[in-house]
Structure 1
Amino acid sequence: MPSLWRARRRLLLIALGVLGVLQALLAIMVSLSVAAILEGNRALVGLLLATTLGLGVAQWIQKVVAEDLGQHYVHEVRRELVGAALVPGNTASLGVTVTRASNDLTAVRNWVALGIVPMVTGLPLIAIVLVALFIQDLRTGVAVTVPLLMCVAVLPVVARWTLKRARELRKKRGRMAARIADSVMAGELLHATGAIDRELNAVTRDSDRVVIAAVRRSWATGFSRALMAMAASLGTVSIVISGHLEVSEVAGIMMLLGVLATPVAELGRVVEYRQNYKAATRILIPLLQRGSEFKHSQQKLPGLQATEGIPGVYVKGISALPGERIYLHGSADATRKWVTSLSAMEEGTDVIVNGQRLSQLPLKQRRALIGIASAHHHLSRGSVSRLVGLRVPDATVEEIEQALEQVGLNNTGKQRLKNGGHPWSTSQINKLKIASATLRTPPLLVLEGITPENLLNYPGVIISTVQENPSETWRQVNI
């Protein structure tokens, strides 16, 4: 996981620590002011009101800074998580990926904003208040501290219990999310086979397991919260039972304990957020590491200079010169695997374009030499111009418009698509993919499941799994 102590987050953490100390000092001033006013010093009423208002403002600012810290951290993790999901070879279900990007990141955000923040601000506050209680009266300090330490000693046991229940719930929830995503995507098949009711029953069973797991987790999380709430109450009860303080002193101490009760009670929630975070990171950390390793490997690849006088391509045993057309003949599974290994540039995939070995090129240089359009590739959402320019991010508006015109999609650049290309037809979507793959005319063009339309005069090598242009000479290669 990314370091929390980084960049702007350092300032936010320091600000939270200062707010915690400030609240402790204001609480002590409130306590002393109440005791003095009850003894007859009415001149301190203004100070009491001001310090009380200061406490409220400090807590308000603390919530804002805590949310800023949590969102800033999750923003970084979310980017890395989505990047890891886009790494070639990722086989995670769509539902699982969405769950990780929502529930798991919510657990991360809660730990940062509602777990770490209460410790950064609460622990200094608790420590300062306890020291103040001991200074005022030794017996008062002992009466408050002993019940607090007794309850804190139980937290490690409760934490292990909470972690077990949190991992169980996360597993059930991920399975349910995967089931729902797969069911929605298979909606047409389920309707055609009359299996909608059976699928709904399966979703209901998974949902029931989530409900049961959530209730079981609540026994652990509820106990930790109740335990720390009881710790704060026991301190107050101990002082009342001891009966060694005057009425004015009791009022001041009660005000101090009222301020202390909030951070003490929040320690119970900290346990819950910490264990949910640990359960989430057991899944997130391997994914983030995989994405980081892939990104690192792409950045460290050495670039090769183009070798003059060696035009043409060599692709997994297929040699071709510019202008040649290769028909890739084979089963649907075989051609799909062939194109997938090429687009992912898997280890052992030997591709040389104009004298440059693609496996040794950085991604930016590689995508300038090869364009791939596949009927199986799912479009992301966005404007048509954005989708066409994904392979060449620095393409100009004129270049994108020209690529669209060549495939017959004139004046469509500003139109926005979603849900895999809605509202366009399959034919229009395939044309868009060809426009993207042919942008800046890469020397090698690979088409899978897409008819090579409007490519009669394409100057580069075309490898296609569809052969429907009789005016050209195609060389068949069996795989």
Structure 2
Amino acid sequence: MSSPYQTRPAATPIPGLWRSDRPRLLAALVAVGFGRAAVALGTAYLIGFAFSSMLGSVAETRIVTLVAVGLAMLAAAGAVFTALERVLAEKLGQSYVQAVRMTLFGQITRTPAREAGKRSVGASALRFTGDLSAVRQWVSLGISRLAVAVPLLAVCLAALVFVSPLIALGVGVVLLAGALVSLWQTRALRQATRAARRRRAQLAAHVTEHVAHPGVMQAFGQERSERSAVRRRGQRLRRAMIDRARAIGLIRATAEATVAVATGGVVVLAVTAGQGVGPAAAAVTIVGYLVAPVRDLARVGEYRTAATVALEKVREVLTRPRRPEPPADAPDLPDGPGVVDVHGISVNGLFGPLNARIEAGEVVALVGPNGAGKSTLLQIIAALGEADAGVVRLDGAALTDASAKSVRRAIGVVAADVPLLRGTVTDNVRYGDPEATDDEIAAVMARCGLDEVVQSLPQGSLTRVGERGARLSSGQRQRVALARALLTRPRLLLLDEADANLDPAAGRIIDRVIADYTGTVLLVTHRPERAAHADLIWELADGALTTRRLSYAPPPPLHLSA
């Protein structure tokens, strides 16, 4: 049968540079390049004029004054152009990186939770720090400098042709040779950069995982072993970074040698061609203005190489599977009591096709052995996971055809893959509905027994919560998660092992919430006593789903894993 899940979204493209205000910024940088070229030519002319006018005679005060004033004005104009270049370059870099950052984050927000869980936290964080920093440097220090340096070099070389074609030819040959050598050296730099980036990601992933869970090391006495592992990874990163620095040093040395040979060549060619002192001084001045662009161009390859490696990793993220989203004009879910229809749902290699129905207001316990796919099925019903075929309907409407906002308000989820976030207790509860009033927050907290919890916390409901609910007990975390899920008054409540590792008091809170809840409840549980209070049992095993309605008599033994 056809299914909305069978159409996978295409890979998200990396934003183009020629979008938004970036073409205007690039045009402004090119204009700055021409402006700096004008400053270079004006300075060269004044210096050549000064040498020609004052040679062999006593310098006239008027000439000296005019030359000095002219040079000062040109120096001021050059300073303005330099400052303007830096601001425009940073604007260009930040504009592009913001576009890439939002595209990257948008992709991550659409990645199924279980797919995201397969990725290293340290490596993922590196995308938003090191990788985007490399991209910003390429745009603001690479492309921007190219936009300025190319017109500056072109105008200066044209001016050298006017002064002396022989000098222009010599300087052009030297610059071309330097560029070719630098281009050849870029290959080694690319390999070194890729190796350094890989070593940095490995170290970041290892350290992030172990810093977040020091108790694992301590419980098994692996502190010394892990320190040795970090030391080894750090040494590998050190060697990789030194190799990269060596490759960068060779490219920069080539640039310095190119500038030195070009400057010396101008002097030699000027003497050989019998140029006057004035033209020779002008030619040397022009070459002097080429020093900075040549050095900048030498680093362009460095920035481009780092950005190329970084964008490879960004593309890996943008090609990950994504949850299909309804069109922007998708209708809201119709109002209803919470009837759930699972029709033909299957996940290749795991289960299906599955067919089942939950009537409004029923409590259903989903049981089965570990690895059977219970959490996967729950995520598909929550419209957070992706099936290979089939459709889930809530009150007759397919979840994949309804607006995302209405689906999220209709379904509340408590699961390990939907943990708490950094912030206060109140922040985490309000995350379920940012528009909720303080009274609504207080009511749902009382409903979940959270009001008793916050009284014992140092700063009450303003107590800071760490990543994944750190600094709270398991029972406290579940109460916060339950309050967050109930804040929108959903018609369907999905609980994925919400009763796992809870003390009796926290377990009673969950029982009370389920008993008082007027909507439909589907819970994954491994506890027979909790499943016994359900209206219906769904047992998922060996890829098939069987259902059994409970009576008031004691239930028969269930296939519940330990």
Work out whether the TM-score is over 0.5. yes
Matches within 5 A, 1:2-17: 2-17=15-30
2:443 match:
402
Q: Residue 356 in 1 paired to residue 397 in 2?
A: yes
Q: Residue 463 in 1 paired to residue 463 in 2?
A: no
> CA deviation digits over 1:287-312, x for unaligned, max 9?
22447xx37x4143874676788852
TM-aligned CA deviation for residue 439 of structure 1 = 2.1
Normalised by the length of structure 2, the TM-score is 0.78
Q: Secondary structure at the match of 1:476?
A: strand
Equivalent pair of 1:351/1:358 in contact (CA under 8 Å):
yes
Letter in 2 for 1:433: A
TM-aligned CA deviation for residue 233 of structure 1 = 1.6
Report the number of matched residues.
Answer: 476
TM-aligned CA deviation for residue 323 of structure 1 = 2.3
Q: Residue 449 in 1 paired to residue 497 in 2?
A: yes
CA 1:376/1:304 → structure 2, altered by over 3 Å: closer, same or farther? closer
CA 1:383/1:308 → structure 2, altered by over 3 Å: closer, same or farther? closer
CA 1:311/1:249 → structure 2, altered by over 3 Å: closer, same or farther? closer
Aligned partner (choices 259, 264, 276) of residue 294 of structure 2? 264
Matches within 5 A, 1:312-331: 312-315=339-342, 317-331=355-369
Structure-1 separation of matches of 2:332 and 2:178:
68
2:216 match:
189
Q: Secondary structure at the match of 2:522?
A: strand
> CA deviation digits over 1:164-199, x for unaligned, max 9?
222222222222222222222342111111111111
Structure-1 separation of matches of 2:442 and 2:317:
38
Worse-superposed segment, 318-327 or 377-386: 377-386
Equivalent pair of 2:365/2:534 in contact (CA under 8 Å):
no
Worse-superposed segment, 387-396 or 254-263: 387-396
1:421 match:
469
Matches within 5 A, 1:201-216: 201-216=228-243
Letter in 1 for 2:419: H
The CA RMSD measured in Å over matched residues stands at 2.7
Equivalent pair of 2:421/2:466 in contact (CA under 8 Å):
yes
> CA deviation digits over 1:355-402, x for unaligned, max 9?
122233332222122111114533222344443344445545544443
Structure-1 separation of matches of 2:368 and 2:154:
73
Matches within 5 A, 1:263-412: 263-290=293-320, 294=322, 297-300=324-327, 303=330, 312-315=339-342, 317-334=355-372, 335-343=374-382, 344-347=384-387, 348=389, 350-410=391-451
Worse-superposed segment, 408-417 or 448-457: 408-417
> CA deviation digits over 1:121-153, x for unaligned, max 9?
111011011111111222221232111111122
Q: Percent identity?
A: 28
TM-aligned CA deviation for residue 111 of structure 1 = 0.6
Structure having the higher Rg:
2
1:77 match:
100
Q: Secondary structure at the match of 1:220?
A: helix
> CA deviation digits over 1:332-366, x for unaligned, max 9?
54443443444433123642211122233332222
Letter in 2 for 1:476: I
Q: Residue 105 in 1 paired to residue 132 in 2?
A: yes
Letter in 1 for 2:174: P
Unaligned runs of 5+ in 2: 1-13, 55-62, 343-353, 455-459, 500-509, 541-562
Structure-2 separation of matches of 1:64 and 1:147:
32
Matches within 5 A, 1:120-159: 120-159=147-186
Equivalent pair of 1:310/1:355 in contact (CA under 8 Å):
no
Equivalent pair of 2:365/2:531 in contact (CA under 8 Å):
no
Q: Secondary structure at the match of 2:286?
A: helix
> CA deviation digits over 1:441-468, x for unaligned, max 9?
2121011222425412211111223466
CA 1:55/1:357 → structure 2, altered by over 3 Å: closer, same or farther? same
Structure-2 separation of matches of 1:153 and 1:355:
67
Letter in 2 for 1:20: G
Structure-2 separation of matches of 1:5 and 1:378:
39
Structure-1 separation of matches of 2:407 and 2:31:
51
Equivalent pair of 1:349/1:359 in contact (CA under 8 Å):
no
Unaligned runs of 5+ in 1: none
Normalised by the length of structure 1, the TM-score is 0.91
TM-aligned CA deviation for residue 204 of structure 1 = 1.7
1:430 match:
478
Equivalent pair of 2:43/2:285 in contact (CA under 8 Å):
yes
Equivalent pair of 1:306/1:355 in contact (CA under 8 Å):
no
Aligned partner (choices 21, 30, 36) of residue 23 of structure 1? 36
CA 1:18/1:454 → structure 2, altered by over 3 Å: closer, same or farther? farther
